[in-house]
């Protein structure tokens, strides 16, 4: 019989969707049985007590967690998030219930052996419950006690050859899409740069000195599979600056129905014959595509890299060959100020090791934000407070029309006197000689 | 300013703020304006390793405190 009655949580097991309650109950039953004779280093009833305390909170409508603390591993200012229960007598299994964030491998590639050993470690020294993956991308190990933190850290660094991830006012664990390892749309090697930046900015990951959190995310193309445009302070979105490559024979094959559109996705019902006009050309956001007879034409200068045509006809249309990425700054979720999407600050930059121009820009971004950012202010809010024009000037970046949605909608750049021939002084007679009225 | 003086300035600055035990990095940075931000970061890291200071993290924000001072775990903003 369950240690705590959980009628409210049981409701969450009804319905067709997966339930975290069922998962926790399964782990609770597994720990109670302990078929592998694990010498649990934290209370065996941790999962039972977790269900109990959550049920109590649902019942009362208030939390029984105390969040935060000094817990961590020696020398690190991140990677461990302290959590305690304020009802330790009633729920001793979760009196300490700290979270550990573990740096995930780039592209989330694991061997089954790695995962099995990680799960074994966490059954032994933690609750056995994980979150694969947290919104930062980390492997999240949920629930352990203070004495286990150093033990787990030692295992992770010595046996698993990985490290803790970021938390608090640190650089957060960089994350990337799986990029060139499996995706033909990748415009740069996201895994390589993600791994490199994780190492280069290691000290910012573990030793907090920022006003608040800072996230890098690397998307190989504008499909944005890791949602960098919405979730990262500095977003890297793969792009090409030449032309989309067209295989006209394959275009004809799509039109003729020999190749299924969208890589064969959405095939569970009959959508009718593929209509290139309706499904591709009319949906182009910049209207830069048209058919001339049976030949597809694209005015690439107008293309805004929305990816729709390439996603729909991947065998006919391919990304260009002059590839790099755009950099967008300041996306964030709504904590202090409202939610923001990233603002384009570099329309195109090559992404090639050793990434020197990118490092130079990052150094400027960090320096300025650490100097001028207010406590708990994200870099996007600092940029907004100073204004885009001023911020670009400080970053030594040239304003570019691509940074705004449309001309004259946002007078974000003002001329300075030294930039105008003749400055602000003018002779009205001279002006009137050309403008009588 | 040499390192010993900088360390002392931080300790004195933290002790002078009565009723406050957790500090943002920026608060400590401003106690030694002669030092560059990255140098202060390094110094604070060393002071944590020397167990003079300790980190306090809510999970989203990290503070520095004198070791053992103030509450060791509680709700964020609860002093």
pLDDT in tens, A52-76: 999 999 999 999 999 888 899 999 9
B49 phi, psi to nearest 5 deg: -60, -35
Residues of A in contact with B45 (CB under 8 A): 75, 77, 207
Domain annotation covers residue B79: no
Q: How far is A11 from chain B (nearest CA, A)?
A: 30
Asked if residue B40 belongs to a domain, the reply is yes
How confident is the model at residue B75, as a pLDDT? 45
Q: What is d(CA A315, CA A254) in angstroms, rounded to the nearest whole number?
A: 9
C-alpha distances in angstroms, B14 versus A92, A373, B7?
Answer: 36, 21, 11
Maximum separation of any 2 CA atoms in chain A, in Å: 97
CB contact under 8 A, B57 and A74: no
Q: How far apart are CA A207 and CA A77, in angstroms?
A: 5
Least confident of A305-309, A381-385, A407-411, B15-19: A407-411
Q: In Å, how far is A230's CA from the nearest CA of chain B?
A: 18
Alpha-carbon distances, residue A126 vs A93, A160, A221 (angstroms): 11, 16, 38
In angstroms, the separation between the Cα of residue A171 and the nearest Cα of chain B is 11
- Specify the 3-state DSSP secondary structure of A434: helix
Give yes or no for a contact between A215 and A169, defined as CB atoms under 8 angstroms apart.
Answer: no
Burial of A39: CB neighbours in 10 Å, binned 0-12, 13-18, 19+: exposed
- The mean pLDDT of A151-161, rounded to a whole number, is 97
All domains in chain A, ordered by first residue: 7-158 (3.30.70.2500), 175-239+324-418 (3.30.413.10), 245-318 (3.30.70.20)
Structure tokens at A182: 């499996």
Position B77 scores a pLDDT of 42
Out of B25, B55, B59, whose CB is closest to A67? B59
Q: Note whether residue B77 is domain-resident.
A: no
Instruction: Flag if A81 and B57 touch (Cβ within 8 Å).
Output: yes
In-domain check, residue B74: no
The answer to whether residues A312 and A261 touch, using CB atoms and an 8 Å cutoff, is yes
Q: How far apart are CA A288 and CA A119, in angstroms?
A: 51
Residue of A nearest to B40 (CA): A209
B46 touches chain A (CB under 8 A): no
On whether residue B44 sits in a domain, the answer given is yes
Which residue in B has a C-alpha nearest to residue A100's C-alpha? Answer: B59
pLDDT above 70 for A413: no
The Cα–Cα gap between A204 and A414 comes to: 35
Q: Which residues of B fall within a CB distance of 8 Å from A169?
A: 24-25, 61-62
Task: Tell if the CB–CB gap between B75 and A66 is shorter than 8 Å.
Answer: yes
Minimal Cα distance from A212: which residue of B?
B61
What 3-state DSSP class applies to A270?
coil
Give Cα B30 distance to the centre of its chain: 11
**Is pLDDT above 50 for B76?**
no
Would you say residue B75 lies in a domain? no
Rounded CA separation A330/A99 (Å):
27
CA distances from B67 to A83, A337, B28, B56, B72 (A): 19, 33, 15, 10, 9
| Structure token pair of residue A295 | 């030949």
Which A residues in the span 84-103 are in contact with B, Cβ-Cβ below 8 Å?
84, 99
CA distance A357 to A350: 9
CATH code for the domain in which residue B7 is found: 1.10.10.10
Contact of A210 with chain B, judged by CB distance below 8 Å, is answered with yes
Taking 50 as the threshold, does the pLDDT of residue A419 lie above it? yes
- Min CA distance, A203 vs chain B (Å)? 9
A with B: how many residue pairs have Cβ under 8 Å apart?
A: 96
Interhelix angle A356-372/A388-395, nearest 10 degrees = 120
A100, A165, A209: best mutation site toward chain B, by most B Cβ within 10 Å?
A: A209
Per-residue model confidence as pLDDT tens digits over A191-216:
999 999 999 999 999 999 999 999 99
Which has more confidence, A413 or A349?
A349
Q: What's the domain count of chain B?
A: 1
Residue B62 forms contact with A (CB below 8 Å): yes
B60 with A213: Cβ contact below 8 A: yes
pLDDT at A388 > cutoff 60 = yes
Q: What would the mean pLDDT of A378-400 be, rounded to a whole number?
A: 93
Q: Is the pLDDT of residue B43 over 60?
A: yes
A318 has pLDDT over 70:
yes
- Return the residue of B nearest to A335 by Cα: B60
Which residues does B51 contact at the CB level (< 8 Å), separation at least 6? B67
Q: Is the Cα dihedral A309, A312, A317, A320 positive or negative?
A: positive
For residue B78, pLDDT over 50 is answered with no
Spell out which residues of chain B touch residue A372, defining contact as CB-CB under 8 Å: none
CB-based contact, B41 to chain A, within 8 Å? yes
Q: Assign A36 a pLDDT band (cuts: 50, 70, 90).
A: very high
pLDDT number for residue A239:
97
Supply the range of the domain harboring residue B21: 3-66
Structural domain includes residue B24: yes
Residue B9 counted as domain residue: yes
Distances (CA, A) of A353 to A118, A162, A192, A234: 32, 23, 9, 18
* A113-136 tens-digit pLDDT: 999 999 999 999 999 999 999 888
Percent of chain B residues topping a pLDDT of 70: 89
Inter-CA distances, A109 with A104, A139, A179, A183, A348, Å? 9, 12, 12, 14, 29
| Contact residues, A window 374-393, toward B, CB-based 8 Å cutoff | 374-376
Closest C-alpha to A347, from A305, A295, A291, A296: A305
Q: What is the mean pLDDT of residues B67-74?
A: 71
User: Does position A366 have pLDDT exceeding 80, yes or no?
Assistant: yes
> Where does the pLDDT of residue A411 fall: very low under 50, low under 70, confident under 90, or very high at 90 and above?
low
What are the residue ranges of helices labelled H in A107-169? Answer: 112-125, 148-158
Q: What is the mean pLDDT of the segment spanning A216-228?
A: 97
- The whole-number pLDDT of residue B1 equals 79
Which 4-23 residues of chain B touch chain A by CB within 8 A? Answer: none
Query: B26 in contact with A at a CB cutoff of 8 Å?
Result: yes
Q: What is the mean pLDDT of chain A?
A: 94
Show the tokens assigned to A9: 């949580």
pLDDT at residue A152 above 90?
A: yes
Question: Residue A409's pLDDT band (boundaries 50, 70, 90)?
Answer: low
Which ipTM was obtained for this model?
0.89
Judged by average pLDDT, the poorest of A141-145, A224-228, B31-35, B71-75 is B71-75
pLDDT per residue as tens digits for the range A257-304? 999 999 999 888 888 899 999 999 999 999 999 999 999 999 999 999
What is the least distance, in Å, from the CA of A55 to any CA of chain B?
21
């Amino acid at each position: 019989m369950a240690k705590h009655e959980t009628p409210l949580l049981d409701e969450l097991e009804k319905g067709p969707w997966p339930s975290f309650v069922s998962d926790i109950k399964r782990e609770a039953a597994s720990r109670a049985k302990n078929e592998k004779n694990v010498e649990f280093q934290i209370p065996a009833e941790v999962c039972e007590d977790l269900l109990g305390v959550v049920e109590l909170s649902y019942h009362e409508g208030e939390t029984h967690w105390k969040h935060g603390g000094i817990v961590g591993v020696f020398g690190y200012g991140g990677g461990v998030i302290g959590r305690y229960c304020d009802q330790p007598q009633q729920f001793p299994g979760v009196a300490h219930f700290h979270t550990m964030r573990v740096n995930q491998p780039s592209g989330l590639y694991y061997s089954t052996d790695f995962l099995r050993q990680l799960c074994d470690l966490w059954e032994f020294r933690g609750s056995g419950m994980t979150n694969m993956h947290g919104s930062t991308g980390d492997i999240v190990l949920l629930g352990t006690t203070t004495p286990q933190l150093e033990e787990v850290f030692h295992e992770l660094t010595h046996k698993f050859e990985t490290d803790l991830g970021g938390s608090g006012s640190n650089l957060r664990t960089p994350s990337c899409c799986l990029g060139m390892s499996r995706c033909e749309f990748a415009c740069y090697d996201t895994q390589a740069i993600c791994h490199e930046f994780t190492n280069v900015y290691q000290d910012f990951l573990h030793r907090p000195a920022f006003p608040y959190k800072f996230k890098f995310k690397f998307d190989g193309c504008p499909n944005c599979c890791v949602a960098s445009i919405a979730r990262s302070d500095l977003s890297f979105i793969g792009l090409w600056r030449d032309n989309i490559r067209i295989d006209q024979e394959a275009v004809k094959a799509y039109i003729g129905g020999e190749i299924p559109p969208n890589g064969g996705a959405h095939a569970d019902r009959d959508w009718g014959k593929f209509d290139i006009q309706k499904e591709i050309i009319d949906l182009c956001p910049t209207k830069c595509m048209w058919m001339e007879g049976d030949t597809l034409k694209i005015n690439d200068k107008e293309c805004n890299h929305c990816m729709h045509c390439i996603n729909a006809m991947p065998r006919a249309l391919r990304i260009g060959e002059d590839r790099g990425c755009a950099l967008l700054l300041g996306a964030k979720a709504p904590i202090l100020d409202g939610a923001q999407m990233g603002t384009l600050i570099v329309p195109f930059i090559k992404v090639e090791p050793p990434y020197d121009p990118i490092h130079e820009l990052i150094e400027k971004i960090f320096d300025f934000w650490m100097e001028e950012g207010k406590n708990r202010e994200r870099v996007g809010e600092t940029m907004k407070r100073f204004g885009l024009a001023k911020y670009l000037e400080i970053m030594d970046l040239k304003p570019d029309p691509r940074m705004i949605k449309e001309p004259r909608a946002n007078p974000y750049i003002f001329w300075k006197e030294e930039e105008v021939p003749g400055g602000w002084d003018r002779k009205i007679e001279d002006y009137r000689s050309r403008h009588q009225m | 300013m040499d390192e010993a003086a900088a360390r002392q300035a931080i300790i004195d600055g933290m002790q002078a703020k009565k009723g406050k035990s957790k500090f943002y990095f920026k608060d400590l940075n401003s106690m030694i304006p002669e030092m560059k931000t990255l140098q202060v970061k390094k110094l604070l890291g060393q002071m944590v390793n020397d167990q003079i200071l300790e980190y306090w993290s809510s999970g989203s924000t990290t503070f520095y405190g004198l070791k053992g001072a103030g509450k060791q775990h509680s709700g964020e903003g609860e002093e």
